Amino acid sequence: MGQARRPGTVGSVRPFGRAFTLTPRPSPLRGRGVGGEGLLLLFPLLFLVIFFYAPLAHLLREGLTKDGIFSLEFIRRILTDDYFQHVILFTLWQAFLSTLASIALGLPLAYILTHYDFPLKRVIRALTIVPFVLPAITVALGFALLFGRNGYLNQFLMSLFGLSEPPLPIMYSLTGIVLAHAFYNAPIITRTVHAAWERLDPRYEESARALGASRFYVFKDVTLPMILPGLLSGAALVFIFCFLSFPIVLSVGGGRFSTIEVEVYTRVVTRLDPQFLNYKIGAALALIGLVLSLMMTYIYLRMQGSLARQAEHVRPRPTVPLFAGVRDFLRPTKLLLWLYMLFSLLVFVGPMLAIVADSLWEDTPTGGRWTLRWYSYIFTPDYEALLGDSPLRAILNSLSFGLGATAIAVPLGLIFAYVIARLRWGGRRLFDTLLMAPLATSSIVLAFALLRAFNAPPFRLVGTATAVIIAHAVIIFPFIVRALVPVLENLDMKIVEMARSLGASRWRALREIELPLVATGLIAGAVFAFALSLGEMSATLMLARPGLNTMPVAVYRFLSQHSLGAPSAMSVVMIVVSALAFVVLERLGERALKL
Amino acid sequence: MRVALRNITKRFGTTLALENISLEVGDGELLALVGPSGCGKTTILRLIAGFETPDAGDILFNDQSVLGVPPERRGVGLVFQNYALFPHMNVFQNVAYGLKFVTSPLAPPLKGEGVGGRSCVQELLDLVGLKGLEHRMPAELSAGQQQRVALARALAPNPKVLLLDEPLSALDAKLRERLRLEIKKIQRSLKITTLYVTHDQEEALAVADRVAVMSVAHIEQIGPPQEVYHAPATEFVARFIGRGNLVTGQIVGRDGESLVISVGGKMIRARSAYGKLRQSVTVLVRPERIHINQPAENILMGTIRGIEFAGDTLWVHVEAAGTTLIAKANALDTTLHEGDIVQVGFATSDISLVPSDQRSPPTPSQEPSQR
Amino acid sequence: MLRRAALVALLIGSVLAWGTAFSLAQAGEGSKLVVYVYESFVAWGPAKFIKTEFEKRNPGVEVEFVATGPSRAMLARLINELITGGTPADIFMGEINDVPRLKKFGFLVPLSEQEIPNLKTVSKELLLDPDMTLIPYEHGFITLVYDSDKLKPEELPTTFAELTKSQYQKKLIIQNPLTSSVGHAFLFWTIYNYGDPGYLDYWRQLLPTILTIQPGWSAAYKLFTKGEAPMVVSFSTDACFDARYKPLLLNNQGYRTIFGAGIVKSTDNPRLSRAFLDFLLSAEVQEKLPDTEVMFPANSQAKLPEKWQTCAVIPPSPVMLSLDLVAENDDRWLDEWARLVVRGR
């Protein structure tokens, strides 16, 4: 992290000496550090309680009551019904497979990023995270365009081999779900493993090789165990996201698969009966899901903890050029690498390219032609009944909601991260886990809880931009916390003590020493959070009214229209905006976004 | 096992790390490779281990090129400065790790009872004095113990060559002195060809059969410790090895077997067969060869500018002939005081002429030996 | 310290205030009519026309269509809002099979010809709800629709039984009855033919034929026209939109589907809402329906486009389950269907 890059604030000792040593300014709250920090914590906690815990508890409570009194009946009904057992097991199973697939796809990329040098490496590394922030609807669209029975890939293979039936039944199957989840989450594995691997001293591996271990054994015995905390923490996070995944299971899975979240959605949202039986079962199921994902969050945070302990400062690992002549190009290990890259290009870049191609294509009775009309359509400020406003408005809304949500989430995340990093209390990890609960709650449950809360006094906010902004802030702030905690933990407290010994108040030390030092981490978290907000759909769809569309919502709307070009064009805009955000982030010098 | 480097050149990007280096380590010999940091000594070690490939030249083990042989089949033992003990394995597992890859009957594990032999590990742990610590994790060991484990681990598969990269730099001075003797003892008893990389010239002199002194990308001199110390081949070596007084002067005449050299206007005599009239030369006098207030062949008058107390020794800084000379004196000598005007004297045979460097390498940073 | 804490609070507060101001600015002045409708009505249907014309006739009134999903998702949204604290909706537009559920909650206002003069133009056979809570404005027949470029007439199944043949494996796209009224109707159609619980056996055999179950008609029809499968559950009138996609009558039947509009009890604009419903039934709007919604207008006097004489197919035997039967069994059927589909047995 950019230590002491701002000599004016950090490096120079003079202001402290002058202002504080010579003319000490008594502060009424000096020496009451803990109490002061406690007070500061009050507002973010209040915000979370009002806009997250209380609505969520209100929803989940339904699953634990019968006729107004506490009852485990619905929980018991779920756990004893073999259909729900099937759903719960399938949820875990598909999350497990998806995590494996994400590792299989993400690990080699982490290896390539760690060991090789190639043109535009920084930009490519920045762009690897883009899939993660895309809305599910865009991913589903890209997958359908590329992998559908009549998609580009199957069409290509059919014409290549003269087949009459599509050879790759990827869509509408578990394979499709797993692949789409891998598309989403492999970047997380890549990021976390890359970060751990880069910090791994190459001399461990060299020692093993000198002892006679082949590359395979070196990886198995030395590298893997040592990057394992990074891998496991990434895997735990991926598992949580796949466990909670909802639109992908529905759209890519083709409606034949049900997970806990799908079941909660249909019971709580779409299958209301006057007796509220489905509602209560759905709430109970949501509770079971939340408990499971919170357990995984706890594991994730533990892994993060051991990762932080293991962190060593070493010289950057040496890299070698990826492209080193023709003979090297044809080496068997390199051939394997090219094969992997081809496959990952297909899975990562393919769906996005398919969307781009589709956004530039127009079907005509005689075939089709290239066109820019979809772009001119989405950039017009004309009213569109489908959206209740102009498509351009949706783009602007996305940006302003994203900024608003980030503006709330940054102070929120900063304060929580600070407290977690400084907390030496035994229940710290539990507190951390509870704070991360929004991350462990599916956006559909969260959105529905907020819909209910915002539809009743005192916060009648349904349909307002505020509701959307609050929902986004709740969803994205955990990522800011996660980006900041490691930075704050690695911050040498001696620097702060030094500042204080020079006469700076606790506050001044915080503002002038700690904050500038974590600035890059903060920016990284903020940009990432902003991009996540751009991609959020479930909650926005539920809370926003026409005229308050965002880009993903507009994509969703356009998809229900006959013309396919508009949703693709809107998706391309979204991909470009988030890609730009990450490239700018990379330029700012922040590359190790902690997750 | 003899190890030889033939005309090795290695570049990293545009920087030249090694230029046309040739080096030979004899069977069972301990060669210390010493030089300032960044001079390329670790690169030589990594080339021998097989982690780097030379851009030009050859590396031979017993006259056989090993250039195509991957590190794991070169049969080298390796100890790094930070030891790189596998943190997820205990002491026993660390030491035994290399044994699981010993499959060739031609290279049986050290006195072992077969592959992965427990007794072999035990013997090694005995050898390095770590008996009873088999089940400790690396993090639970002191730095010195970690160093011993690293050594035992490197020795376990019975390597033909032992490569030590700054093996003692992470330790405190006392421990370092003890361990370097132990390493030498173990090396002797196993008769293993060893390359010992260090930046500490004192350590190099103490431990090595022969010392190779490196400046950036070049080997300046290879020879037994005494030779390197007393007869440095270059000014660089003279500055880098030991504490010395290097004084520039001009040859003004010849007197039998001695040259007459003018240093700061004073004439001194040095024994040397070479040297042209009016040639600039650098003269080396070791501090222990300088005698204060005693009769000698060469006498200069000077003023004491400072006295360092170092236990059994006094280091006396004397300003004379326009330069500052350091002399070593007995600590029991109480007659010396700052500001005293004294005679500094040295024998003609104690003066070495150092050829001026053709290249002008950056002045080596005389790193303190205590770190 | 207090000052800084206050600062943070102020920052968060001002963002929230800005957001609220942002929404209020959006809301604007004047009275507003909020219509909850399924997404295809705004995507394809005459929503834009209705909004413009109705606003022209009622100055100062703003019509807002809320169409965040397929019809049954909109129904769920309405109910959820009503049970938690109220809905902004004045009007709900949906399918007749949801009338029983809506009635159980009692959220819609019963209507009469006195209140909606144009109601008298509606064909009597469409008025299945005696309380008139959901006034029919269009109707049609659920059938299969096939891609005539992909399937030749002799390759087509003619009965439900033939549809389960292995040659049709993965050739059909359907809608989820939990979220889509079209899917809902298709489920009822199978129950009509195979009875309860016989329909479950039929679905067991039908599963291999189904390529995917989409949340709504829009998504399903899009995949169909993108060439993902040659058959989809849709309407008998689809050929009027694109002659390539022709209706396919199983068992010579079509399942009648009726879409209607009702007034939400909590509305603040009962007069305006009634005017809206009346306008919906006016010939002006009704005659727009065939071309945009590709459905038959409910107004029996509305003129059909010329080509509808040939392209619009009326099945020889239109079928429908009684709403009483639906009221009694709907929840159980949906539950049984969902369990069957997810587990495949």
Q: What is the pLDDT of residue B352?
A: 84
Split into its structural domains, chain A has a count of 2
Residue A498 covered by a domain:
yes
Report the DSSP pairing between strands C61-66 and C31-36: parallel
Percent of chain A with pLDDT over 90: 31
Q: Which of A40, A385, A548 sits opposite C4 (nearest CB)?
A: A40
Specify the CATH number for the domain of residue A204. Answer: 1.10.3720.10
Domain membership of residue A20 (yes or no) is no
**Residue A168 CB neighbours (<10 A):** 16
Sign, CA dihedral B233-B236-B239-B244, equals positive
Q: Is residue A487 part of a domain?
A: yes
Each residue's pLDDT tens digit, B11-67? 988 889 999 999 999 999 999 999 998 899 999 999 999 999 999 999 999 999 999
What are the chain C neighbours of A412 within 8 Å (beta carbons)?
12
Contacts of C328 in chain A (CB under 8 A): none
Confidence of residue C298 (pLDDT cuts 50, 70, 90): very high
Interchain CB contact of A203 with C (< 8 Å): no
- Do A219 and A257 have their domain in common? yes
Q: Are A192 and A233 a contacting pair, CB within 8 Å? A: yes
Q: Is the dihedral of CA B299, B304, B308, B313 positive or negative?
A: positive
Greater confidence (A452 vs C34) lies with: C34
Q: What is the pLDDT of residues C304-319, one digit of tens each?
A: 998 898 899 999 999 9
pLDDT(B135) > 80: yes
Residue A8 domain flag? no
Contact between residue A129 and residue A334 where contact means Cβ atoms under 8 Å apart: no
Q: What is the mean pLDDT of residues A5-33?
A: 36
* B171-176 average pLDDT score: 89
- Is the pLDDT at B340 greater than 80? The verdict is yes
Q: What percent of chain A has pLDDT over 70?
A: 89
User: Hey, which residues does B338 pair with through a beta bridge?
Assistant: none
Q: Is residue A54 in some structural domain?
A: yes
Q: Is A270 among the domain residues?
A: yes
Q: How far apart are CA C67 and CA C39, in angstroms?
A: 5
Residue B221 has pLDDT above 90, yes or no: yes
Tell me the per-residue pLDDT of A122-175, one tens digit each, with 9 for 90 and over.
888 888 888 888 888 888 889 988 998 888 899 899 999 988 888 888 889 999
Among A382-391, B186-195, B314-323, C198-207, the minimum mean pLDDT is found in A382-391
C213 with C280, same domain?
Answer: no
Whether B266 has a pLDDT exceeding 80, the answer reads yes
The pLDDT of residue C191:
97
The encoded tokens of residue C208 equal: 């291999």
Contacts of B322 (CB under 8 A, 6+ apart): B263, B264, B265
Average pLDDT over residues B122-146: 89
pLDDT of residue A277: 87
The answer to whether residue A184 sits within a structural domain is yes
Position A17 confidence tier, pLDDT thresholds 50, 70, 90:
very low
Q: Work out how many domains chain C is built from and give that number.
A: 2
| Cβ contact C133:C249 at 8 Å | no
pLDDT interval class at A32 (50, 70, 90): very low
Q: Which of B88, B110, B169, B195 to mutate to test the interface with A (most CBs of A within 10 A)?
A: B88
Mean pLDDT of A92-101: 97
Reading the block at residue C115, the tokens are: 């209140």
Would the pLDDT of C30 be above 50? no
Q: Rounded to 5, what percent of chain A is helix, strand, coil?
A: 75, 5, 25
One domain, residues A192 and A160: yes
Higher pLDDT, A190 or B273: A190
Q: Give me the count of residues in chain A.
A: 595
| Calpha distance A112→A107 (Å, rounded) | 9
Distance between CA A403 and CA C102 in Å, rounded? 40
For residues A187 and A38, state if they share a domain: no
Single-letter code of the amino acid located at A536: E
**Whether A156 contacts chain C with CB within 8 A:** no
C-alpha span between C12 and C3 (Å, rounded): 14
Q: Give the per-residue pLDDT at B367.
A: 40
Q: How far is CA A320 from the centre of its chain?
A: 31
The per-residue pLDDT for A274 is: 81
Answer yes or no: is pLDDT of A472 > 90.
Answer: yes
**Residue A3 domain-assigned (yes or no):** no
Q: How far C157 CA sits from the closest chain A CA (Å)?
A: 19
Please state whether beta strands B210-215 and B30-34 pair in parallel, antiparallel, or not at all (unpaired): parallel
What element of type H or E holds A429? Answer: helix A428-435
Is the Cβ pair A86, C5 closer than 8 Å? no
Give the residue-averaged pLDDT of C229-255: 94
Question: Does the structure show a pLDDT above 70 at B365?
Answer: no
Q: What percent of chain C has pLDDT over 70?
A: 91
Q: What is the pLDDT of residues B349-363, one digit of tens each?
A: 888 888 765 544 444
pLDDT band at A42 (very low <50, low <70, confident <90, very high): confident
Q: Do the chains contact at C65 and A258, CB–CB below 8 Å? A: no
* For residues C235-264, average pLDDT: 94
| Helix/strand/coil for A411 | helix
pLDDT per residue as tens digits for the range B198-215: 999 999 999 999 999 999
Q: What is the pLDDT of residue C29?
A: 37
DSSP state letter for B357: P
- Chain A residues with CB under 8 Å of C204 CB are none
Domain B3-235 sits in CATH 3.40.190.150: no
Q: Check whether residue A339 and residue A451 sit in a common domain.
A: no
Per-residue confidence (pLDDT) for residue C27, from 0 to 100: 42
CB contact under 8 A, B49 and A213: no
**What mean pLDDT do residues A99-114 have?**
93
Question: Which SS3 state, helix, strand or coil, does residue B187 take?
Answer: helix
The distance from CA B304 to its chain's CA centroid, rounded to whole angstroms, is 32
Same-domain check for residues C262 and C299: yes
pLDDT at B114 over 60: no
> Do A159 and A283 sit in the same domain of this protein?
yes
Mean pLDDT of all residues belonging to chain A = 83
Residue C25 lies in a domain: no
What integer best gives the mean pLDDT of chain C?
Answer: 89
Predicted local confidence at residue B311, as pLDDT: 86
Cβ of A212 within 8 Å of Cβ of B80? The answer is: no
Tell me how far apart the alpha carbons of residues C124 and C130 are, in angstroms, rounded to a whole number. 11
Helix (H) or strand (E) holding A247: helix A247-251
Confidence band, pLDDT 50/70/90 cuts, at residue A593: very low
pLDDT band with cut points at 50, 70 and 90 for residue A281: very high
CB-CB neighbors (< 8 A) of B70 in chain A: 209, 214
Mean pLDDT of A250-268: 88
Q: What is the pLDDT of residue C322?
A: 94
Selection from B249, B337, B261 nearest residue B293 by Cα:
B337
Q: Which CATH class is domain B243-354?
A: mainly beta
The answer to whether residues A416 and A346 belong to one domain is no
Chain B residues near residue A221 by CB distance under 8 angstroms:
86, 97
pLDDT of residue A542: 82
- Could you tell me the residue range of the domain that residue A154 belongs to? 81-354
Please report residues of C whose CB lies closer than 8 A to that of A42. Answer: 5
Q: Residue C215: what residue type?
A: P
Is B78 touching A (CB cutoff 8 A)?
yes
* Lowest mean pLDDT segment, chosen from A185-189, A494-498, B26-30, B102-106: B102-106
CATH number of domain containing C66: 3.40.190.10
Q: For residue A452, which amino acid is it?
A: R
Q: What pLDDT score does B31 carry? A: 96
Task: Tell me whether residue B370 is exposed, middle or buried, using C-beta atoms within 10 angstroms of its C-beta: 0 to 12, 13 to 18, 19 or more.
Answer: exposed
Q: Are residues C224 and C263 in the same domain?
A: no
Q: Which of residues 60-89 of A touch C (CB under 8 A)?
A: 83, 86-87
Of the listed ranges A177-186, A329-338, A469-478, the least confidently predicted one is A329-338
Contacts of A213 in chain B (CB under 8 A): 72, 97-98, 101
Residue C10 lies in a domain: no
Report yes or no on chains A and C touching (3+ CB pairs under 8 A). Answer: yes
What range defines the domain where residue C220 resides? Answer: 140-257+314-343
Interchain CB distance below 8 Å, A203 and B80:
yes
Give the CA distances from residue C98 to residues A481, B94, C93, in Å, rounded to whole numbers and listed in that order: 45, 71, 10
